[in-house]
Amino acid sequence: MPTKSRVMAKILVVDDEPDALELVGFNLKAAGYEVVTADDGADALKKARQHAPDLILLDVMLPEVDGLEVCKLLRRDPATSQIPVIMLTAKAAEIDRVLGLELGADDYVTKPFSPRELVLRVKNLLRRRTDGEEKPDQFNIGDMFIDVPRHLVTVARKRIDLTATEFKLLTTLASRRGRVQSREQLLRDVWEYDNIIDTRTVDTHMRRLREKLGTACRYLDTVRGVGYRFVEN
Amino acid sequence: MPTKSRVMAKILVVDDEPDALELVGFNLKAAGYEVVTADDGADALKKARQHAPDLILLDVMLPEVDGLEVCKLLRRDPATSQIPVIMLTAKAAEIDRVLGLELGADDYVTKPFSPRELVLRVKNLLRRRTDGEEKPDQFNIGDMFIDVPRHLVTVARKRIDLTATEFKLLTTLASRRGRVQSREQLLRDVWEYDNIIDTRTVDTHMRRLREKLGTACRYLDTVRGVGYRFVEN
DNA sequence: CGGGGATGTTACAAGCCGGTGACAAAAAAT
DNA sequence: ATTTTTTGTCACCGGCTTGTAACATCCCCG
């Protein structure tokens, strides 16, 4: 295998059986990934926050808090909600619930699995996140709806008129939901960064955006000293 | 099992009978689709917004709000108006109303239906939306009618004389109904992009188009700072 | 509790953007 | 060849956007 110039992805593996942990860990390391392990739900949540892994492999069967619950909690925490999760499940029947949106797992592998298949899934999911940069043309957040190609924003089914820059600012934030964007970052992405523009300009546009969005301005969060971010509660 | 590179289409199934729901759901899942279910009209509308499914299967007979009403409401909400709908109906006589333009369903299946037929319809409709980029040779928008091969445009049954470029500009916009087209995009598609032409030329042609279309110019929408778009109300 | 930096708010002028009418070149029709 | 139609460009204007500055608040920190 060719050496990667970039640091390889870090993966958190969660399983209560030491043997399974070792098997999975060994194969992932062989594929060049950095591996962190956890053997119960609470440990998994802690390590997920601590290490900010690029992907989580999560066994459904866990003592105390089960894997489904862990997955839900991971999704709820802004620090971990964006991390892709692959569930390991023994029963094929569980698949439906696992992939259901309420849980938000990104993929699953049924036990027993071949190491090769597992690594393939991991690679796939990581690639989707990195080079795909996933740019959906539609967002649905609470009662806000954004359609990029149609250049349309509605809040509670009522149309909101936005100017070109306001719209781009909103979609930029929405597409990086949960992650804070610095003013410099926003200037680069929204204003295309050849312009030398005062960073305070961003503030003004945020204000105009909030004004037009009305109640939905609750989705636009200010992070003092850092920038702005799109939140969904 | 081969790894899917792309997430399969998500389908919302709406029916008040659990048995029907299970039957349809099972077959769609077997065909590789992700399935979300709802058992009444209100739930359907909520889940349609929430999950942004790629297609909706909608039973006509529903408690409280009936399927026809749900369909109408789906069409009215910008967040869901573009999602194709297949109606499930028991009586063949209802078909006319279902497919009537006021409702805007895209297809129907009469009960009892064979699972194979249902899945076929679903596949068909999804394909039409994705790879086809649907290029029909005829458009019917409100009181405007466009026949591409015959190079004919009528508004309220009255013929409108358009020049070649005006006609191509109109059909290009009409075929991407709802989506904003930048001037550059239009130059590429209408003027065949080898020419180096001032983008303002597009404006002039839009003006001439609007003038000739008279009242129907309400379908041609300017999105300041972005481009032009075809709207249908 | 008070100071200083960061953010929200307001106001405004410059300038960009799109609508419009005119015009000439090019193409088509006669 | 002449007339007519089409088409690309330009200049002008009104209005909306938008960047900025000045002022008001808020919040963190000691």
CATH of the domain at A184: 1.10.10.10
% of chain B with per-residue pLDDT over 70 = 87
- Answer yes or no: do A113 and A188 share one domain: no
Q: Which nucleotides along chain C are within 7 A of a protein C-beta?
A: 6-11, 17-22
Assigned domain for A154 exists: yes
| Whether the predicted pLDDT of A138 surpasses 90 | no
| Cα–chain center distance at B192 | 26
What confidence tier does A5 reach under pLDDT thresholds 50, 70, 90?
very low
- A4 in B contact zone (CB under 8 Å): no
Count of A-B CB contacts under 8 Å: 51
Residue B154 within a domain: yes
The pLDDT of residue A103 is 58
Could you say which residues from 160 to 199 on chain A have a Cβ atom under 8 Å away from some Cβ of chain B?
163-165, 167
CB atoms within 10 A of CB A85: 25
Residue B115: cis peptide before it, omega within 30 degrees of 0:
no
- Both B88 and B152 in one domain: the answer is no
B186 band by pLDDT with thresholds 50, 70 and 90: very high
- Mean per-residue pLDDT, A148-162: 94
The Å distance, CA of B1 to C1' of C27, is 62
Distance CA A79, CA A36 (A): 17
Mean pLDDT across B119-133: 75
* Cα nearest neighbour of B25 on chain A: A96
pLDDT at position A2:
37
The arrangement of strands across the sheet holding A227-230 comes to A181-182, A227-230, A220-223
Same domain for A89 and A171, yes or no, is: no
Instruction: For residue B35, report the phi and psi dihedrals to the nearest 5 degrees.
Output: -120, 135
Band of residue B97 on the pLDDT scale cut at 50, 70, 90: low
Report the gap between the CA of A34 and the closest CA in chain B (Å): 23
Whether B52 sits inside 8 A of A140 (CB atoms) is yes
Cis ω for the linkage preceding A53 (within 30 of 0)? no
Cβ-based burial of B6 (10 A; exposed 0-12, middle 13-18, buried ≥19): exposed
B210 touches strand C (CB under 7 A): yes
Q: What does the pLDDT read at residue A7? A: 52
At A174, the pLDDT band (50, 70, 90 cuts) reads very high
**Residue B66, domain member (yes or no):** yes
Domain end, chosen from B99, B130, B161, is at B130
Residue B40 maps to which CATH number? Answer: 3.40.50.2300
Residue B4 pLDDT > 60, yes or no? no
Domain end residue (candidates: A130, A160, A189): A130
Examine the pLDDT at A209 and tell me if it is beyond 80: yes
Give me A206's structure tokens.
């945020």
Report the candidate in A42, A34, A58, A72 with the shortest Cα–Cα distance to residue A111.
A58
Q: pLDDT category, B92, cuts 50, 70, 90?
A: low
| Residue B123 located in a structural domain | yes
Cross-chain residue pair B79–A151, CB shorter than 8 Å: no
Residue type, B45: L
Asked if the structure places residue B106 within a domain, the reply is yes
The least confident of A39-43, A183-187, A192-196, B128-132 is B128-132
Residues A69, A104 within the same domain: yes
pLDDT at B174 over 70: yes
Residues A118 and A160 in one domain: no
- Indicate the pLDDT class of residue B225, thresholds 50, 70 and 90: very high
Look up residue B218 and give its two tokens.
């309400």
Q: CB B54: neighbour CB atoms within 10 A?
A: 20
Does B123 lie in the same domain as B150?
A: no
Is residue A70 a contact partner of residue A78, using CB atoms and an 8 Å limit? no
In a domain, B3, yes or no: no
CA B173 vs. chain centroid, Å, equals 15
Average pLDDT over residues B194-221: 90
pLDDT score of A180? 85
The helix (run of H) or strand (run of E) holding residue A30 is helix A18-30
> Within this chain, do residues B82 and B53 fall inside the same structural domain, yes or no?
yes
Mean pLDDT of B155-184: 92
Query: What are the start-end ranges of the H helices in chain B?
Result: 18-30, 41-51, 67-76, 95-99, 115-130, 164-175, 183-190, 200-213
pLDDT given for residue A219 in this prediction: 94
A150 touches strand D (CB under 7 A): no
Cβ atoms of A53 and A30 within 8 Å: the answer is: no
User: Is residue A32 domain-shared with residue A125, that is, in the same domain?
Assistant: yes
Same domain as A82, residue A183: no
Predicted TM-score (pTM) of this structure: 0.67
A4 located within any domain: no
Instruction: Give the pLDDT of residue B6.
Output: 45
In this structure, the answer to whether residues B123 and B153 fall within a common structural domain is: no
pLDDT for position B213: 92
Parent domain of A165:
135-230
Residue B78 is nearest to which of A100, A117, A152, comparing CB atoms? A152
Residue in chain A lying closest to B74 (CA): A157
Task: List the structure tokens of B18.
Answer: 């659990």
The count of other CB atoms within 10 Å of the CB of residue A232 is 14
Mean pLDDT, chain A, whole residue set: 81
Measured CA angle at B90 (ends B85, B93), to 5 deg: 90
Output the pLDDT for position B68.
84
Tokens representing residue B38 in the block: 């709802």
Q: Is the pLDDT of residue B176 over 80?
A: yes
Cβ contact B206 with chain C strand, < 7 A: yes
> Are the CB atoms for A178 and A81 separated by under 8 Å?
yes
- In terms of domains, do B53 and B75 share one? yes
Query: Is B4 part of any domain?
Result: no
**Same domain for B154 and B214:** yes
pLDDT of residue B136: 73
Q: How confident is the model at residue A195 (pLDDT cuts 50, 70, 90)?
A: low
Residues 177-206 of B with CB under 7 A from strand D: 191, 195-198, 200-201, 204-205
| Of A200 and A96, more confident | A200
Last residue of a domain, one of A112, A130, A148: A130
More confident residue, A92 or A51: A51
The identity of residue B221, as a single letter, is D
- Give the pLDDT mean for A19-36: 84
The total of structural domains in chain B comes to 2
Residues with Cβ within 8 Å of residue A189, at least 6 apart in sequence: A172, A181
